[in-house]
Structure 1
Amino acid sequence: MENVKKLSLEEVADRDAIRDLVDAYAYCADSRDAESQMALFTEDTLFRVFMDERQIEPSQVVNGRVGLAPIFDNLNTYVATMHFNGQSKINLFGDTAIGTTYCFAHHLTIDGDEKKLMVAAIRYHDDFIKINHKWFFKKRDLKVAWIENKPLNS
């Protein structure tokens, strides 16, 4: 066990705060709180969407926090969403960090009697920064591994 790195209390607190940040993103998305979701990002954030994680070039790029509003507002096209965050890996470098988080994002659509569920398997690749003792997303790459569309029974 000589290769086990002991974390300082500050490192443990930082990892916990970053995980809270990642979970707050999902919570805000599902509760349709775009304003609070946007506040999780730096003013000069970079947000990129890759609809296929194998793509080299992103499908969509947003520069700056204010540009996130239409992306988060798009969730209102669904009757409900539910994001489940899974495992994550965080590497700390003082007041910056990088990380990857796995997520299943469920999106429900209802059109008359027809209910459909779209489930996206997502890997988020993030750059984080701590400003005034608070962690923010500096850059977020949303990479879709696959999407499943299926009808739902009533």
Structure 2
Amino acid sequence: MNLKELEAKFELKELVDIFSTLSDTKSVHEQTLLFTENSLIEVYMDGKKTFDLHGRKEIEDAFTAFLAPFKHVYHQGGQQIITELTDTTAKGTSYCLVALVSEENGKKTVAKHGVTYFDEFVKIDGKWYFEKRISNFVWTTEEVQEINDNQL
């Protein structure tokens, strides 16, 4: 592997990590700028396609509505494998543990999701973007806890 390939892999890993970090801070507009203007997101849960999002506007609207009810959002990124790489395109797979925390009626609900992302990237004017992202929610667990005064 040469220096150019290493640099591209580093930039792609950073793109994936920035996506997660912006999600955690609910910085949705900035997050959508990581996608091409006409990008596509496909979401699968338990192996079944649940919806598609086409283009930045649709992505931003959907992400904003989805994240709104959660008090905390947390992504812990794992391994990433780049399976194809050219000067301007790439494909890869990455893994993530996503925790979504909501609070209602004195109870805290923590939903944890094991997510595998299948990404297609494109490099435009020297910068990498998501062109297509398949989000596969492989497993989910949920726990509900009573909130006591020490947790506030």
What's the TM-score once normalised by structure 1's chain length? 0.90
Instruction: Tell whether 2:123 aligns with 1:130.
Output: yes
Unmatched segments (≥5 aa) in structure 2: 148-152
What's the TM-score once normalised by structure 2's chain length? 0.91
Give the root-mean-square deviation of aligned CA atoms: 1.1
- Structure 2 partner of 1:36: 30
Inter-partner Cα distance in structure 2 for 1:99 and 1:30: 22
Inter-partner Cα distance in structure 2 for 1:14 and 1:27: 20
- Structure 2 partner of 1:85: 77
> How is 1:4-153 mapped onto 2 (pairs within 5 angstroms)?
7-52=1-46, 54-55=47-48, 58-73=49-64, 74-91=66-83, 92-152=85-145
Q: Is the 8 Å Cα contact of residues 106 and 146 (structure 2) preserved in structure 1? A: no
Q: Percent identical across equivalent pairs?
A: 29
**Could you list the per-position Cα deviations for residues 48-75 of structure 1 after superposition, in whole angstroms to 9, with x for gaps in the alignment?**
11112x23xx211111111101221121
Inter-partner Cα distance in structure 1 for 2:140 and 2:88: 35
Inter-partner Cα distance in structure 2 for 1:11 and 1:87: 17
Number of positions where the alignment pairs a residue of Structure 1 with one of Structure 2: 145
